[in-house]
């Protein structure tokens, strides 16, 4: 940025005068952090650095991370001696403890009774000097020395450490992720010598807080496939029907591995810039309005070259060109193959549409897929349906506090609806809306019946009619739309409900059906 760009105080207000404000600063640049990780031999150290880099791009950034560390681990904002002696409220350090602790504190002397402080602030015993001025200074030093305390409250040392952490912890975290000379180990800074081990503990807590309440059998398969890609540095393709929870499982996996995997959804456009921009955003690569696709690609390659980060690409069928011309080549696929050759873990999440797009490209162009197929280290075909037990577990998460009958009603509807889990989510959202409209917290079975019969079923019927009905009905003709229900004549279950294990999933045939992928 030009150093001549500035706003004159008191001048006309222009929007761009705030563009360089520190509050707009983005997190740590991934390509620079990759250089730092390139000099680290241990994988766990690199993973910790990438975890901090990820948090730097979360709301609040590094400043929020520093504040959370100070709030969650206040007892660790202390020197080694202080932690050995204790930092309890009301505790007092005797002279011996003061001497040990003050040697580790920077910027504070903590003199004890009888000690002489020289003009330069150092500690020393009185020595003979000549001259009236020196004698007067010595007498004043003796007088002050008699007034110094013989012990100090531990809180004074704690306050010094807290003040130093508030002023310097953010910079320390930045240096940890960027300075190649700084060891990833405990020992510094002086006010927080257990910083690295505390960061590891914070990372474990961060992951535990994001662990999903339920992982279905399909989710386990997605986890296993992504694990294989991350550990073997191979390309993996996960294929499954829509609305099975693939996306949620992929996002959850990346949340559980914040120092090893990044998730992004492939954009549908054909332009290179939108594709590389989405990857750059997920990795934390620097982007500006003047960035070109080629520049972003080089920064992304520089970030991924070490193989520490795996990329998980959802909606992978958009990797294929959306326009089929004779000379069209799948540039995105070719680029991913080059990444796979360099040992970058790549995972593709898609539906059967991925193979349809692949065949269309092969049919319309001279491109052939043998090399691409040869680079797929593992292909995971997901089941077409969830088990009743998994459906009940998912319904319980979507509708917390719902009765047993309410949960089973959601399962029945999902099993008979083309939208599957999306239908279950629509019912849960409508139930919450009903309860909120009536100022109620408790969810009742009648709310679920009302949501299904008066809202979701009519909505499904209208959507089915819109998809399969006349595309351009006449303006003057009053049309009566009659369409089959998406859910096949669903009826709310009567009490008591049969056991959920006796419910057989009713899934539509994959061939020839009309799928609603985005509802």
Say how far apart CA 189 and CA 115 lie, in whole Å. Answer: 28
Orientation of helix 61-72 relative to helix 195-209, angle to 10°: 100
Alpha-carbon torsion, ordered 76, 79, 81, 87, to 10 deg:
-50
Say how far apart CA 488 and CA 50 lie, in whole Å. Answer: 49
Altogether, the residues listed in the chain come to a count of: 519
Alpha-carbon torsion, ordered 336, 342, 347, 352, to 10 deg:
40
Say how far apart CA 412 and CA 415 lie, in whole Å. Answer: 5
Residues with Cβ within 8 Å of 362's Cβ and at least 6 positions away in sequence, in order, are 368, 369
Two structure tokens written together for 186? 């405990």
| The pLDDT value given to residue 420 | 86
Say how far apart CA 429 and CA 13 lie, in whole Å. Answer: 44
Q: Please say whether the beta carbons of 280 and 296 come within 8 A.
A: yes
Which residue ranges make up each domain of the chain? Answer: 22-112+149-209, 217-381, 388-468+481-502
Say how far apart CA 279 and CA 313 lie, in whole Å. Answer: 9
Nearest alpha-carbon partner for 424 in 404, 451, 444, 454: 451
Say how far apart CA 439 and CA 472 lie, in whole Å. Answer: 42
Say how far apart CA 518 and CA 476 lie, in whole Å. Answer: 31
Nearest alpha-carbon partner for 256 in 233, 276, 278, 230: 230
Distances (CA, A) of 266 to 4, 241, 281: 39, 18, 12
To which H or E segment does residue 93 belong?
strand 92-93
**Which CATH topology does 388-468+481-502 take?**
Helicase, Ruva Protein; domain 3 (1.10.8)
User: pLDDT tens track of the chain, all 519 residues?
Assistant: 445 556 666 667 666 666 555 555 678 999 999 999 999 999 999 999 999 999 999 999 999 999 999 999 999 999 999 999 999 988 999 999 998 998 999 888 888 887 776 554 444 444 444 567 667 766 776 777 777 888 899 999 999 999 999 999 999 999 999 999 999 999 999 999 999 999 999 999 999 999 999 999 999 999 999 999 999 999 999 999 998 999 999 999 999 999 999 999 999 888 899 999 999 999 999 887 677 889 999 999 999 998 899 999 999 999 999 876 677 789 999 999 999 999 999 999 999 999 999 999 988 888 888 999 999 999 999 999 999 999 999 999 998 988 889 999 889 888 888 788 888 888 899 899 989 898 888 888 888 888 888 777 777 677 667 766 655 555 444 444 444 444 444 454 554 444 444 434 444 444 444 443 333
Q: Please say whether the beta carbons of 422 and 243 come within 8 A.
A: yes
Q: Please say whether the beta carbons of 399 and 494 come within 8 A.
A: no
| The pLDDT value given to residue 66 | 96
Give the homologous superfamily in CATH for domain 217-381.
P-loop containing nucleotide triphosphate hydrolases (3.40.50.300)
| The pLDDT value given to residue 24 | 57
| The pLDDT value given to residue 458 | 77
* pTM of the predicted protein model: 0.80
Backbone Cα Rg of the chain: 32
Orientation of helix 388-398 relative to helix 404-416, angle to 10°: 120
* For residue 496, cis peptide bond before it (omega within 30 degrees of 0): yes
Residues with Cβ within 8 Å of 320's Cβ and at least 6 positions away in sequence, in order, are 330, 332, 333, 354, 357, 358, 360, 361
Phi, psi of 495 (to 5 degrees): -85, 140
Two domains, one topology: 217-381 and 388-468+481-502: no
Distances (CA, A) of 415 to 217, 424, 473: 16, 9, 33
């Amino acid at each position: 940025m030009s150093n001549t760009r500035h706003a004159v105080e008191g001048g006309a207000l222009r929007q761009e005068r705030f563009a360089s404000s520190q509050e707009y600063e983005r997190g740590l640049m991934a390509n620079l952090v990759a250089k730092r990780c390139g000099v680290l031999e241990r994988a766990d150290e690199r993973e910790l650095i990438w975890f901090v880099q990820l948090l730097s791009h979360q709301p609040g950034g590094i400043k929020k991370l520093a504040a959370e560390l100070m709030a969650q681990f206040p007892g660790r904002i202390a020197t080694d001696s202080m932690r050995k002696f204790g930092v309890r409220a009301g505790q007092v350090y005797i002279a011996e403890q003061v001497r040990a602790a003050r040697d580790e504190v920077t910027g504070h002397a903590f003199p004890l009774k009888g000690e002489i402080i020289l003009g330069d602030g150092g500690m020393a015993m009185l020595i003979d000097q000549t001259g009236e001025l020196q004698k007067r200074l010595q007498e004043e030093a003796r007088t002050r020395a008699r007034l110094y305390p013989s012990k100090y409250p531990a809180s004074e040392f704690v306050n010094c450490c807290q003040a130093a952490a508030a002023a310097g912890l953010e910079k320390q975290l930045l240096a940890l992720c960027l300075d190649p000379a700084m060891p990833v180990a405990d020992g510094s800074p002086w006010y927080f010598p257990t910083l690295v081990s505390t960061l590891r503990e914070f990372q474990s807590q961060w992951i535990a807080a994001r662990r999903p309440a339920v992982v279905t059998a399909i989710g386990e398969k997605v986890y296993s496939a992504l694990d294989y890609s991350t550990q073997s540095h191979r390309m993996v393709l996960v294929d499954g029907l829509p609305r099975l929870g693939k996306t949620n499982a992929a996002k959850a996996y990346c949340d559980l591995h914040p120092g090893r995997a990044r998730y992004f959804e492939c954009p549908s456009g054909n332009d290179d810039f939108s594709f590389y921009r989405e990857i750059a955003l997920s990795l934390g690569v620097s982007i500006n309005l003047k960035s070109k696709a080629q520049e972003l690609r080089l920064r992304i390659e520089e970030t991924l070259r070490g193989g520490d980060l795996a990329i998980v690409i959802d909606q992978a069928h958009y990797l294929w060109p959306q326009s089929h011309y004779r000379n069209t080549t799948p540039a995105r696929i070719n680029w991913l193959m080059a990444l796979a050759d360099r040992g970058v873990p790549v995972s593709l999440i898609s539906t059967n549409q991925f193979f349809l797009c692949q065949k269309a490209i092969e049919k319309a162009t001279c491109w052939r897929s043998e090399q691409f197929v040869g680079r797929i280290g593992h292909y995971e075909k997901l089941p077409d349906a969830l088990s009743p037990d998994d459906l009940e577990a998912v319904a319980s998460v979507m509708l917390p506090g719902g009765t047993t009958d309410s949960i089973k009603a959601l399962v029945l509807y999902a099993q008979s609806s083309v939208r599957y889990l999306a239908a279950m989510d629509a019912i849960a959202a409508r139930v919450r809306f009903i309860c909120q409209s009536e100022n109620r917290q408790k969810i009742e079975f009648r709310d679920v019946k009302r949501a299904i019969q008066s809202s979701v079923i009519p909505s499904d019927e209208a959507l089915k009619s819109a998809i399969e009905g006349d595309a351009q009905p006449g303006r003057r003709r009053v049309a009566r739309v009659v369409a089959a229900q998406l859910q096949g004549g669903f009826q709310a279950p009567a009490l008591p409900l049969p056991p959920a294990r006796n419910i057989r999933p009713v899934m539509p045939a994959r061939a020839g059906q009309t799928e609603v992928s985005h509802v």
